[in-house]
Amino acid sequence: MAAESMLPLLIALEEDLESDTRLRALAGRVGASPFQFHRRFAAEVGETPKRRLERLRLERAAYQLAVSTIPVVEVALGVGFNAHETFSRAFRRRFGVSPSHYRRAAQAAQADRMRRMAGFRGEGCRLSEVRFLQLSPMTLIAARRLGAYAQFDTRPFLPGDAAWAPLAAWAEARGLSVRRLAIGFFPDDPNITPGEAQRADICLAVEGDPPADPGVRRIDFPGGLYGAITHQGPYETIDQAYRTVADGVRRSDQYAFDIGPPMQVFRDVQVGGDPAANLTDVMFPVVRRR
């Protein structure tokens, strides 16, 4: 688990995987010698800087290969590899197959699932039709959480909420108007990213200018087009919503996946104490097909 002092650097690296990631450059960002930085990073993060950056690059590449038709060489360059050959070797080490083979297998599996699951509306939950909508820009405040999504304690604004309630209290103490609508960004594929490394950004929309704080980030959410589905039921079945909305995007002749993390909007949570009443929107960013 990364220490709070290291978190701003980790997030900055995630947002710009093409930046200068040489050890000396990274150490300079936190005012340490390369040796001190490497030792501290490995101890606090659980990975060496090189291993973490390569993992993030390859996981982002795997997502792009699975959901897009971007040429492999462009995927490689876009995630920070300088040469196609270097990318291909690293990708094969991580996933056991070439990038092209990974893409073919992923897309074949998706096509098979779409045929089998046509008309699927949930098992142990209820799923709406997939829809496409335009979200408005928002100013968000965010706190990073690490850990397996399957074990994520999701109780927005209920007793015991250790995620959104502290964010709301932080904002209200600083005179910010808060929309009590819980939002989460979940950028990692739990089938690929190790559970202890899975990242979630817990967010609330606010009005006003959030002051700088090392424990709370400001995110200027740009809005945009999203493919969305509404899930009603216990959170243990939320993966069905992700798969079904993703299939809906693939079936669309108007929209394709955009780069960016999926998000959840927690609309109703355990109304009357019943998890089956949970109402959650699951959304993927999309673009119009040309």
Model confidence pLDDT, tens digit, residues 61-92: 999 999 998 999 999 999 999 899 999 999 99
CA distance readout (Å), 274 to 80, 234, 271, 278: 46, 9, 6, 8
* Count of Cβ atoms closer than 10 Å to residue 129 Cβ: 10
pLDDT of residue 54: 92
Predicted pLDDT of residue 58 = 96
Q: pLDDT at position 273, please?
A: 76
- CATH value at residue 104: 1.10.10.60
**Is residue 121 in some structural domain?**
no
Residues 104 and 130 in one domain: no
| Residues 264 and 207 grouped into a single domain | yes
The DSSP secondary structure of 51-65, one letter per residue, reads HHHHHHHHHHHHHHH
Residue 3 binned pLDDT confidence (cut-offs 50, 70, 90): low
Q: Hey, which residues does 225 pair with through a beta bridge?
A: 134
Task: Measure Cα distances from 42 to 18, 49, 140, 214 in Å.
Answer: 21, 7, 30, 21
* pLDDT of 18 over the 80 cut: no
Residue 277 has a pLDDT of 87
In a domain, 237, yes or no: yes
Task: Classify residue 213 by its DSSP letter.
Answer: B
pLDDT band at 232 (very low <50, low <70, confident <90, very high): very high
- Checking if the pLDDT of 162 tops 70, the result is yes
User: Residue 169 is encoded by which pair of tokens?
Assistant: 């209290």
Task: Give the HSE-up count for residue 242: Cα atoms under 13 Å, Cβ half-sphere.
Answer: 17
**281 and 147: one domain?**
yes
Residue 162, CB-side half-sphere exposure with 13 Å CA sphere: 5
187 assigned to some structural domain: yes
Residue 227 maps to a domain: yes
In this structure, are residues 80 and 64 in contact, taking their beta carbons and an 8 Å threshold? no
pLDDT of 20 over the 70 cut: no
Show the domain range for 255: 126-288
Q: Which stretches within 30-182 are classed as H helix?
A: 34-45, 49-67, 72-78, 84-95, 99-116, 164-173
Q: Is 118 a member of any domain? A: no
pLDDT number for residue 2:
47
Same domain, 242 and 143: yes
Last residue of a domain, one of 80, 113, 146: 113
Output 227 or 45, whichever has higher pLDDT. Answer: 227
Contact 214/4 with Cβ under 8 angstroms?
yes
Q: Is the pLDDT of residue 113 over 50?
A: yes
Q: Is residue 154 domain-shared with residue 49, that is, in the same domain?
A: no
Q: Is residue 212 part of a domain?
A: yes
Identify whether residues 131 and 107 lie together within a single domain: no
pLDDT band at 271 (very low <50, low <70, confident <90, very high): low
Running DSSP on this structure, what letter comes out for residue 141?
E
Q: Residues 151, 225: one domain? A: yes
**Is 120 contained in some domain?**
no
If one counts every other C-beta atom within 10 angstroms of the C-beta of residue 278, the result is: 21
Pick from 92, 113, 134: which residue ends a domain? 113
Residue 236 lies in a domain: yes
- The domain total for the chain is 2
Look at residue 130 and tell me whether its pLDDT is greater than 60: yes
From 86, 113, 140, the end of a domain falls on 113
Average pLDDT of span 9-15: 82
Task: Give me the mean pLDDT over the 283-288 stretch.
Answer: 97
Q: What is the CATH number of the domain that holds 149?
A: 3.20.80.10
Average pLDDT, the chain: 90
Q: Are residues 143 and 107 in the same domain?
A: no
Residues 26 and 166 in one domain: no
The pLDDT, as a whole number, for residue 129 is 96
Element (H, E) at 285: strand 279-288
Clarify whether residues 280 and 142 are in a common domain. yes
